[in-house]
Structure 1
Amino acid sequence: MAARTVVLLRHGRTAYNAALRLQGQIDIPLDEVGRWQAEEGASALLASHRATKVVSSDLVRAADTARAYARQLGVPVELDERLRERSFGDWEGLTGDEIATGWPEQHAQWRRGADPEGVRAEAKAVVAERMAATVREHADTLEGDACLVVVSHGAAISLAITGLLGLDASSWRGIAGMHNVHWSHLHRSAPGAVPDWRLVAHNVGAGYPLDRWQAGPHADLEPEPKSA
């Protein structure tokens, strides 16, 4: 009997996230806020999900986020390059405004949810297939009530969920993007059920207000009101 629970965890913030640059498969590290998010998120995730196995994209932002959780749990991290972010080809490292200026037609396609043509971006259906297949493969190495935690990237996770739910990744856009170091929880369906996985929770985090989460550990907090 394979693992019944899969948790898909997005990596912490990077300088490109902060600057709203498209990362794709550029191997950029966590920034200071991202490292703090990884530690805080790890503690929160550990309170609800204790993984039997932790597997991660080999890109450093994901691998270091995975290590923050695995270190608290006391298990190793297995790296798998198939869990990398979707490749965005010529657009990697650029802002949305730069993409819109340089490739207006393709940018419009992308914003509609279509695969942009002629920019060497990885097709959504291809990403969904490789992500879902990889998650299933790792889940099938476990038994019974085991929990698998997979650390990956925003677009890749959305497409993985789409694939695991048996939906057409080329056209279906029903999964909202995830914040840094937030996770989704899927549970295996009963034998013979379609689809074979069900989405239980999506975009769950450590419980911080989003502006505080994005600002990081040194954010100026509002002083508590004084009593009259």
Structure 2
Amino acid sequence: MKTIYIVAHPEASHHTEGVVGGWYDSVLTERGIQHAQDIAQALTMRLDGRPAEILSYDLRRAKQAADMIGQALGIGVTTDPDLREKSFGEAEGKPQEWLRARTIPLPDDGERLRHDEGIEGAETRWQLAERSYRAMDRIIGSLAQNQVVVTHGGPTTLLIAAWIGMPIEAAGRVQFPVESGSITWLRKDPRNFSHQLAQLNDISHLSHG
């Protein structure tokens, strides 16, 4: 039965510089590289020699982590641009304060996925959801029984929503918070074929310091 490990890429330079990530092509910090090694070791232990497929989005911070995992497992990495974080348009690479000062907050009620946050060139959450649901369709359709998916926090929520069969229209109201460097475990039960969220946001493998 299928097992999927969703990895939220570890610390990158945009985190420590306090700038907006999105499609801004930041790289892993030294701490992020250490955490990528921790993730690779943890997944090597979990998979215990079983063959796996690794998918990653194509920005450097995720690809760096995915390549380190692939090296540890002895397999190559397939890139999928649909696994990218939400694009923040003109805000990318600018200070987080710049984005916060200009963002139109999400409404409590009404349309949340198609909400215009007021940032020129930014994706809506609906566009991110469409990409994430497409990516999960391909993940589920793969013949690989064990998969590692390296992505970011925003897509992680939507990949989980797609995995458990949540209608895309309802995904605007849900969030599954994860931390950088975390591993989230999805599995298909071999007896009743249910799609399980077996473990969310595991960071027990990460080195301190």
Alignment TM-score, normalising by the size of structure 2: 0.83
- The question of whether the paired residues in 2 share the 8 Å contact of 1:13 and 1:180 is answered with yes
Cα distance, 1:78 vs structure 2? 0.9
Deviation per CA, 1:45-80: give whole Å up to 9, x if none.
Answer: 221135511111011111110111111110111111
1:63-212 superposed matches below 5 A = 63-101=63-101, 103=102, 106=104, 108-109=105-106, 114=112, 115-119=115-119, 120-143=121-144, 146-167=145-166, 168=169, 170-176=171-177, 178-188=178-188, 197-208=195-206, 212=208
Point out where structure 1 has 5 or more consecutive residues left out of the alignment. 213-218, 220-228
Cα distance, 1:26 vs structure 2? 1.1
CA 171–41 in structure 1, closer or farther in 2 if over 3 Å, else same:
same
* Distance in 2 (alpha carbons) for counterparts of 1:74 and 1:95: 38
Cα distance, 1:15 vs structure 2? 1.4
In the other structure, the counterpart of 1:29 is: 27
Letter in 1 for 2:55: V
Cα distance, 1:170 vs structure 2? 5.0
Deviation per CA, 1:163-196: give whole Å up to 9, x if none.
Answer: 32233455312311x2222111112367997xx6
Letter in 1 for 2:147: L
1:43-82 superposed matches below 5 A = 43-49=41-47, 50=50, 52-82=52-82
* Distance in 2 (alpha carbons) for counterparts of 1:92 and 1:116: 16
Aligned-CA RMSD value: 2.7
- The question of whether the paired residues in 1 share the 8 Å contact of 2:187 and 2:195 is answered with yes
Point out where structure 2 has 5 or more consecutive residues left out of the alignment. none
Name the SS of the counterpart of 1:75 in structure 2.
coil
Name the SS of the counterpart of 1:16 in structure 2.
helix
Alignment TM-score, normalising by the size of structure 1: 0.76
In the other structure, the counterpart of 1:222 is: none
Cα distance, 1:134 vs structure 2? 1.6
Letter in 2 for 1:11: H
Larger Rg: 1
- The question of whether the paired residues in 2 share the 8 Å contact of 1:163 and 1:169 is answered with no
- The question of whether the paired residues in 2 share the 8 Å contact of 1:83 and 1:152 is answered with yes
* Distance in 1 (alpha carbons) for counterparts of 2:13 and 2:159: 25
CA 169–8 in structure 1, closer or farther in 2 if over 3 Å, else same:
farther
